[in-house]
Amino acid sequence: MRRHSGGGSAMFWGAMSWHGLSTLHRAQSSLNAERCRQVMLNVMMPWALELPWRLDQPDCPFIFQQDNAPGHAALSTRELFDTVGIALLDWPARSPDLNPVENLWAIVSRRVHWQGRQFMRLDDMLPVIYDCWRTEAPKYVEALFESMPRRLQACIDAGGRQTKYYPYRFPVPRIRFEQSKSTTSWSRSRLIHKEFHIILWDN
């Protein structure tokens, strides 16, 4: 979700689970390993540990999904997950149409810029983004999770190529998603994560 703009940008981190959305965290700069660690420690983990299924089943395995951005793949980031006992789900590169949170970001973008709405200042846009994340985005969470079996099957049927679930305007190449991956069980307790996300504003 990227709109042409000369005005500026706002970067965000957000996550989703079957039980709802995390706090929308605004980042002041691009993602690197240390910033990723800080977001995981200070934003993601406190939220995730309060999810209802974690409170009811504290010993239930916790599996976290993220893409392969350098900050995520850094050794220090992966060591953090090992230390706190959170498993990482293997994920193919360049696969936004497999990740339902990508569609959620696209929905947020459309709602923020609904009917061609423009913003003269970043400070005018930020409240709209936060309000959309809080009031509009949660309406789509369950449907996006329930789409996972269809997403995986569509990818298999397409031989690893782009599917109808691709959330953005332009296609990107992706490594083949092997059929053996289709055995992945998408438990409702699993967490879907997106790295810092950029929304541009127009002047």
| pLDDT 10s digits, 4-48 | 344 567 889 999 998 899 999 998 777 789 999 999 999 998 988
d(CA 61, CA 13): 23
For the chain, how far is it from start to end, CA to CA, in angstroms? 18
As given in the structure block, the two tokens for residue 101 are 């949170």
Strands 20-21 and 87-88, bridge-based pairing: unpaired
Beta bridge partners of 12: 26, 197
CA atoms within 13 A on the CB side of 153: 5
Domain range for 196: 8-201
Number of domains in the chain: 1
Q: What percent of the chain has pLDDT over 90?
A: 23
Which pLDDT score is estimated for 49?
81
- Domain membership of residue 3 (yes or no) is no
- Domain membership of residue 2 (yes or no) is no
Q: Provide the 3-class DSSP secondary structure of residue 196.
A: strand
Beta bridge partners of 64: 88, 191
Q: Are 52 and 66 contacting, i.e. CB atoms less than 8 angstroms apart?
A: no
pLDDT for 72-98, tens place per residue? 889 999 999 899 888 888 888 878 788
Mean pLDDT computed over every residue of the chain? 77
- Domain membership of residue 68 (yes or no) is yes
Whole-structure pTM value: 0.76
As given in the structure block, the two tokens for residue 163 are 């599917």
- Domain membership of residue 27 (yes or no) is yes
Tell me which amino acid residue 28 is.
Q
Q: What percent of the chain has pLDDT over 70?
A: 75
- Domain membership of residue 196 (yes or no) is yes
Q: The domain that contains 163 carries what CATH number? A: 3.30.420.10
Which pLDDT score is estimated for 187?
42
- Domain membership of residue 1 (yes or no) is no
- Domain membership of residue 64 (yes or no) is yes
Backbone phi, psi, residue 201, to 5°: -120, 150
